[in-house]
Amino acid sequence: MKTYKTKIMGVLNANEDSFFKSSRFDYKQTASKIELMIENGANIIDIGAVSSKPGSIAVDEKVELERLKNIVEIIYKEKYFEKVDFSIDSYSLLVIDFVLNKGFTIVNDITGLQNDEVCSLVSKYAAKVVIMHMQNKPSNMQDKPEYNDVVLDIDNFFKKQIQKANSFGIENKKIILDVGIGFGKTLEHNLLLLKNLEYFKHFDCELLIGASRKSMIDLISPSKVEDRLAGTIAIHLEAIKNGASIIRCHDVYEHKQAIKVQEAILNT
């Protein structure tokens, strides 16, 4: 099995209802936010314009594109895509087609390639794709989620969706798998997935984990969103030890430092 270099995916949200307000920004802050993330050590910057927090409602794709358009144009004009990879956190065909023409190279699809047309677009642009597992949809995903066996159920989901991606000409080297921490999972489900993350390495795809400031931390150690950095880093360092190579987070500088220290210890 391949080993992958650890990469940090920084999160930027172009909407007013993302659960962590420090990740929100408008197009006037685009240059400063991106330059700071690059300086702090981001390898990938993931930009979204629609909240996917529990209970959130879908937004019309024209509204989503309008929120993103000026930001994407600045990224393209300043050629930031030559310094860092850009990912779009969206499953909208309109949005995906627009950004893949403007220097973006990764589609972060929380619906896990359910839409055949998303598969076609990813294949057309030879982009990478994040296949994330989510039970139901954001508006109801936390309504008593149940699994026969959370690890095996998600393993079967990945197997099916990888086969689908392959049928559209998307190779495994272009596929990133995300178990979807907090997306239709209880605390126990999340902990089991993190503990058994290495199991999913048999697909020979990169594994992404994004637990940044999520409510599972509050369930373990009661805390407000802005006070969950320590818990976030604890989860992400353990995830790296268990096979994750892409860490999606809000706090790039702190993660870069923590990962460098972990690597120094492990490589001694």
Backbone region of residue 171 per phi and psi (left: phi > 0; alpha: psi in -120 to 50; beta: other values)? beta
Which of 7, 174, 201, 248 is an active site residue? 248
62 is known as an active-site residue: no
C-alpha angle with apex 165: 161 to 171, nearest 5 degrees? 125
Classify residue 151 as exposed, middle or buried by CB count within 10 Å of its CB (0-12, 13-18, 19+). Answer: middle
214 is known as an active-site residue: yes
**Rounded distance, CA 33 to CA 126, Å?**
27
**Rounded distance, CA 56 to CA 58, Å?**
7
**Rounded distance, CA 145 to CA 136, Å?**
9
Q: How many residues does the chain have?
A: 268
* Residue 160 main-chain phi, psi, to 5 deg: -65, -45
Is residue 37 within 8 Å of residue 255, measured between CB atoms? no
With CA atoms as reference, report the closest residue to 231 among 242, 218, 243, 240.
Answer: 218
The DSSP element (H or E) to which 207 belongs, if any, is: strand 206-209
Which of 7, 214, 228, 256 is an active site residue? 214
Is residue 229 within 8 Å of residue 254, measured between CB atoms? yes
Active site residues: 214, 248
